[in-house]
Amino acid sequence: MTHSLDNIKLMWREEPRNFQTPCYLYSVSGVEKNFLTLKNLLGTNLVYSLKANHCVDLLVRCGHLFTDGIEVASVGELNLIAGGDGVKFINNPSMDKQTMRAAIGSKATIIIDNEQQLDMLGEFIGKRPLNPVLFRLNSCVLKTFMPEHESVRSDHFGMDWETAKRCLKWANDNNIEVQGFHLFKGSNTFVKTAMSSVTAVLKIIYEFEKSLGYPIKMINLGGGFDNQPELSDFDFDAYRNLLQEIPEHIEISHEAGRAIMASAGYFLTRVRSVKQIEDQSYIIADGGMKQNFLLAKTENSFRRYEEPMILTSNDYESDNDKETGTGKAYIVGTSCNRDDVIGAINNISVMPAVGDGLLFSHCGAYNESYTLGDFLSLPKAQAYIVE
């Protein structure tokens, strides 16, 4: 059991009314532990991907960790960190001129996704000071240079090699400095592809520098880490040794969101009512897919729901005659949507009481930031910071 979880349970026992549910609980010590553990395993710079969790209070408390940089994808995200002096990267295939202007004004490094973005950047030449840029390469480039590289899911990000060559020439012709490239292969791909990718990257570096006529300074090898990469059986020692083959003049970065934030966050919702329909038990909570879309598993063909920890409460003593359940009890939210099922308690014998808390773990990455829409004008979840 983690120190943060002990704190949450103690806070709940002392005064459950202090929690306005539904809410997220983010652990500063959990973020710090996850960040430093992964950075040490990799032995490189580690850039934080802000889209995983953009809670401002958490960013303030953890900002000292993210000195290698924060990657954003929108003006809104850029505004969250615009006041700081840290390293900023911006990366979005649909970047428009307004976004690019804001990025230049905040001295962010622009990651060029396509030829149109490079043309757009050209309109600022001579008008504003421009930072050197990175080129985003599509994962297909790995197979261009290493046909035996493991297959990864196709996507629409970045450039193929022929496009990259045209962009390198354009940058040279227009005196735009290219400091390197960014390469990302998708979620949960690191363990499968990391070693092969470095082998391909060594060849890509050679071709980049030959095309540019000068040494590049930086490469970002992306992420694709799972929630707790330190628990995988991946050989990080061998990986760090392989990275040493990359020329010393190149700064190596990885980026992560999920691996840093997921296990450092919890989602707490209260039981509003309990009932049975024939032989099926249901727990109706005050939070659901409106506040935590990912728990509803709507994007999975096979839905394996998370099981929360039950925090008992004495707030509603008159209602606390607990009902007896049978089998599995589904936890449902407030959105009047039949897919609003955010969890389950397996092999239930006694139903939770009205007022009890349902605490879901590993909800620190994307659970809040990926939650969509304003259906029924339901409230957003509150956010609390714990040590």
The boundaries of the domain holding residue 207 are 29-260
**CB-count exposure of residue 367 (10 Å: 0-12, 13-18, 19+):** buried
Calculate mean pLDDT across residues 334-361.
Answer: 92
pLDDT tens digit sequence for 54-106: 999 999 999 999 999 999 999 999 999 876 678 999 999 999 999 999 999 99
| Whether residue 267 sits in one domain with residue 253 | no
Q: In the prediction, which pLDDT does 63 show?
A: 92
| Whether residue 101 sits in one domain with residue 195 | yes
- The total number of structural domains in the chain stands at 2
Res. 373: pLDDT tops 80? no
Q: In the prediction, which pLDDT does 300 show?
A: 73
Give ∠ CA 146-152-158 in degrees, rounded to 5.
80
Residue 90's SS3 state is strand
| Whether residue 283 sits in one domain with residue 254 | no
Q: In the prediction, which pLDDT does 66 show?
A: 96
Local structure of residue 346 (DSSP, 8 states): T
What are the distances in angstroms from CA 344 to CA 289, 338, 360, 366? 14, 15, 11, 20
Calculate mean pLDDT across residues 147-171.
Answer: 97
Calculate mean pLDDT across residues 127-136.
Answer: 94
| Whether residue 94 sits in one domain with residue 229 | yes
Q: Which residues of 332-353 are buried (b: 16+ CB within 10 A; e: fewer)?
A: bbbbebeebbbbbbeebeebbb
Q: Out of 209, 225, 260, pick the residue that ends a domain.
A: 260
Calculate mean pLDDT across residues 362-369.
Answer: 96
Res. 203: pLDDT tops 60? yes
Beta-carbon contacts of residue 40 (< 8 Å; ≥ 6 apart): none
How does residue 314 score in pLDDT terms, banded at 50, 70 and 90? low
Calculate mean pLDDT across residues 247-266.
Answer: 98
Q: In the prediction, which pLDDT does 322 show?
A: 58
N- to C-terminal Cα distance for the chain? 14
Res. 385: pLDDT tops 90? yes
- Is residue 258 within 8 A of residue 48, CB to CB? The reply is no
Q: In the prediction, which pLDDT does 317 show?
A: 43
Beta-carbon contacts of residue 74 (< 8 Å; ≥ 6 apart): 92, 99
Separation of alpha carbons 384 and 374, rounded Å: 22
| Whether residue 313 sits in one domain with residue 219 | no
| Whether residue 86 sits in one domain with residue 7 | no
The β-bridge relationship of strands 23-27 and 329-332 is: unpaired
**Who has greater pLDDT, 3 or 341?**
341
In the chain, pLDDT over 90 holds for what percent of residues? 83
Task: State the CATH number of the domain containing residue 247.
Answer: 3.20.20.10
Q: In the prediction, which pLDDT does 360 show?
A: 98
- Is residue 253 within 8 A of residue 267, CB to CB? The reply is no
Res. 336: pLDDT tops 60? yes
Res. 232: pLDDT tops 70? yes
Q: What is the mean pLDDT of the chain?
A: 93
The Cα diameter of the chain in Å comes to 78
pLDDT tens digit sequence for 187-202: 999 999 999 999 999 9
Q: In the prediction, which pLDDT does 209 show?
A: 98
Task: State the CATH number of the domain containing residue 381.
Answer: 2.40.37.10
The answer to which of 285-289, 318-322, 379-383 has the lowest mean pLDDT is: 318-322
| Whether residue 186 sits in one domain with residue 42 | yes
Q: In the prediction, which pLDDT does 319 show?
A: 45
| Whether residue 144 sits in one domain with residue 51 | yes
| Whether residue 233 sits in one domain with residue 85 | yes
Separation of alpha carbons 366 and 81, rounded Å: 18
- The residue type found at 366 is Y
| Whether residue 284 sits in one domain with residue 172 | no
Backbone angles phi, psi at 127, to 5 degrees: -100, -35
- Is residue 308 within 8 A of residue 25, CB to CB? The reply is no
Q: In the prediction, which pLDDT does 350 show?
A: 79
Q: Out of 200, 232, 260, pick the residue that ends a domain.
A: 260
Backbone angles phi, psi at 11, to 5 degrees: -60, -40
Calculate mean pLDDT across residues 4-12.
Answer: 90
Q: Out of 242, 260, 278, pick the residue that ends a domain.
A: 260
Q: In the prediction, which pLDDT does 316 show?
A: 46
| Whether residue 266 sits in one domain with residue 357 | yes
pLDDT tens digit sequence for 107-116: 999 999 999 9
| Whether residue 373 sits in one domain with residue 253 | no
Q: In the prediction, which pLDDT does 1 show?
A: 47
How does residue 326 score in pLDDT terms, banded at 50, 70 and 90? low
